[in-house]
Amino acid sequence: MNEEWWKNAVIYQVYPKSFLDTNNDGIGDLKGIDTKLNYLKELGVDALWISPIYLSPQIDNGYDIADYRKIDPMFGNNKDLEQLIKDAHRKNIRIIMDMVANHTSDKSVWFEESCKSKNNYFSDFYIWKDPKSDGSKPNNWGSNFGGSAWTYDDNRKQYYLHYYGKQQPDLNWENPKVRQVIYDVMRYWKAHGVDGWRMDVITSISKNQEFPNNPNPHQLKYVVGNQNNGPRMHEFIHEMNQEVFKPFSMMSVGEAPDSKSKDARLLVEPDREELNMIFTFEHMHVDRKPGDVNGRWAIQPVDVVQLKRTLANWQNTLDGHGWNALYFENHDRARTPSRWGNDKNYRYESATAFATILHGLKGTPFVYQGEEIGMTNPEFELKDYEDIELRTNYDKLVRKEKTISEADFLKAARKISRDNARTPMQWDSSENAGFTKGDPWFKLNPNYKNLNVSRDLNSDKSVFKYYQKLIELRHKENILKDGKFKLLLPDDKSIFIYTRTLGADEWVVVANLSDKLQQVDVLSKYSDYKTIISNYESEKLKILRPYEARILKK
């Protein structure tokens, strides 16, 4: 077995709730994924990362797990997962599960027991603190989902910590028993055939045991910050590697919110035996105003220079020291054509231009369901959004702190909110896009009649077919895996251009990330290069039309 199979693989993320419903309850399910394996095989992906499907109250769409060993009945049962794994393996598609190890649901028996007393087996499974002498919270830490990160429990007369919702208490990784139960769960799923793990907010597991107040420049009641890269993080992740990833040859990709490229080296440098890859957030912050009190809701137009600088920095810093995970979309991100491209006049062109840039880089590309047909943001009204993050931040920023107007919040939500990617998958033009024959759990993007898999496949501008080609290149061409990366024109505000070189081979990857025609003089250097892939029919050597993209080969 090829231990580093993920190095020339493309991984497809399934958000099961919104993928395909087979029993008409309006919720996507495991059988739905199984039904579409041929579709995924045709696309060419090597593995599926499946967002959490364990028993869960679904406060945060499954990122609040009540029982790690049980599939939630809304998705099917454990047997259905075994079947899916078997069917996928038969087609040479690997299965990556999502492990939420930083927190559980408050409905987990571990937490219910922990609440009961200070001296039972589970008492120290979570992070409990006494109130301050005046009864107030242990410190000023804020939750990502609004308000304090501490909630009082009447029975224990103590506060427990939660970086996310109060229904998502953080596990106490200082407790070796906690670490062992998590490793045990991971081995349990390995025994069922799972091939690897996506580790949810894994850089948050180690907490500063002094629990200091966060710096508070905006004089807020609670401050979100310093949740990542705690003092024992590397030690814990290394231990997980030794207990699970290494002995059972499981692939690992960790979500690493605040990591800079130099932190990444410590997480993915192979000799250190921690993780294979991490998802950085840095390049996804190029459309937010830095340091703004409204955080990610303070949007600005995408800064292409900053995007290039950030991606290039990760390429260069990890070169020879680790492997990049490459993505623009996932269940927490908006749709790229709507967010950074132009989903009105150049949907096909902008979807494929960003795809070209991403898939030409060194690392493992991740494709999020619907990305392969260029799905777009739905532009809902506030009442239509479901996400806990959006709702809690609306309460905090618009209602309580009044740091952003409702109109600006809605504008930001339509651009960047997580729900943009969570609308049901658009399979065809039939009612509810062929996603369900029941009542869909979440509103569909009303554009599904025109934008769906079956129409895309029959169009001469098929995003799917473009992705298919990119994925095929990744499988065939070692230069994409091993070639050296070099950024050209770092200061150009619209053109993203770089080379990959391996021995005597050289490829040029170029895209115009604007909706204006651009003249790119440096392209004349490559006049005798051959076009391998392009998103316009004919080309003019030095001219790139709106969102025109190409890969050229010496």
Binding site for ligand GLC (CB under 6 A): 60, 63, 100, 164, 200-201, 255, 331-332
Contact of residue 100 among ligand GLC, Ca ion, none (CB under 5-8 Å per partner type): ligand GLC
349 as an active site residue: the answer is no
Residue 159 or 164 with smaller CB distance to ligand GLC: 164
What is the number of helices (H) and of strands (E) in the chain? Answer: 15, 20
In angstroms, the CA 178 to CA 125 distance is 6
Judged by CB, which is closer to Ca ion: 21, or 64?
A: 21
Residue 99, classed as helix, strand or coil, is strand
Output the CA–CA distances (angstroms, integers) from residue 339 to 309, 335, 445, in the order listed: 19, 6, 15
- The site partner of 201 among ligand GLC, Ca ion, none (C-beta below 5 to 8 Å per kind) is ligand GLC
Residue with tokens 């571990």: 110
Q: Cβ distance 45 to 11 under 8 Å?
A: yes
Residue whose CB is less far from ligand GLC, 182 or 201: 201
State in angstroms the smallest separation of the CB of 416 from ligand GLC.
14
Instruction: Give me the least distance between CB of 255 and ligand GLC, in Å please.
Output: 6
Q: Which does 25 bind (CB under 5 to 8 A by kind): Ca ion, ligand GLC, none?
A: Ca ion
Residue among 308, 302, 311 nearest 337 (CA): 302
What is the rounded end-to-end Cα distance, in angstroms, of the chain? 33
Q: Which option in Ca ion, ligand GLC, none does residue 27 bind, with CB closer than 5 to 8 A by kind?
A: Ca ion
Residues 26-45 that bind Ca ion (CB under 5 A): 27, 29
CB atoms within 10 A of CB 24: 10
Nearest-approach distance from CB 163 to ligand GLC, in angstroms: 8
Distance CA 429, CA 452 (A): 7
**In which order are the strands placed within the sheet that holds 128-129?**
128-129, 158-161, 150-153
For residue 382, the tally of other CB atoms under 10 A from its CB is 14
Task: Answer left, alpha or beta for residue 211, where phi above 0 means left and psi between -120 and 50 means alpha.
Answer: left
Q: Which residues pair with 429 in a beta bridge?
A: none
Say if residues 278 and 255 touch (Cβ distance below 8 Å).
yes
**CB nearer Ca ion, residue 30 or residue 551:** 30
Min CB(226)–ligand GLC separation in Å: 16
| Catalytic site includes residue 255 | yes
Minimum Å distance from CB 330 to ligand GLC?
Answer: 7
Q: Which is nearer to ligand GLC, 17 or 308 (CB)?
A: 17
Question: Residue with CB nearest ligand GLC?
Answer: 63
Determine which one of 200, 239, 263, 372 is catalytic.
Answer: 200
Q: Which one, 53 or 488, has the nearer CB to ligand GLC?
A: 53
Residue 31 or 411 having the CB closest to Ca ion: 31
Residue 456's binding partner among ligand GLC, Ca ion, none (Cβ under 5 to 8 angstroms by kind) is none
Contact (Cβ atoms closer than 8 angstroms) between residue 159 and residue 153: yes
Q: Which does 21 bind (CB under 5 to 8 A by kind): Ca ion, ligand GLC, none?
A: Ca ion
Options 21, 255, 506, 548; binder of Ca ion; rule CB under 5 A:
21
Q: If contact means CB under 5 to 8 A according to the sort of partner, which of ligand GLC, Ca ion, none does residue 164 touch? A: ligand GLC
Report in angstroms how near the CB of residue 200 gets to ligand GLC at its nearest. 5
Spot the catalytic one: 72, 170, 255, 282.
Answer: 255
**Surface-to-core class of residue 265, CB atoms within 10 Å of its CB (0-12 exposed, 13-18 middle, 19+ buried):** middle
Least distance from C-beta 419 to ligand GLC, angstroms? 11
Task: Using CB under 5 A, pick the residue from 5, 7, 8, 25 that binds Ca ion.
Answer: 25
Cβ within 8 Å of residue 419, ≥6 positions away:
378, 380, 385, 386, 387, 390, 413, 442
Residues annotated as catalytic (active site), given as ranges = 200, 255
Residues that bind Ca ion (CB under 5 A): 21, 23, 25, 27, 29
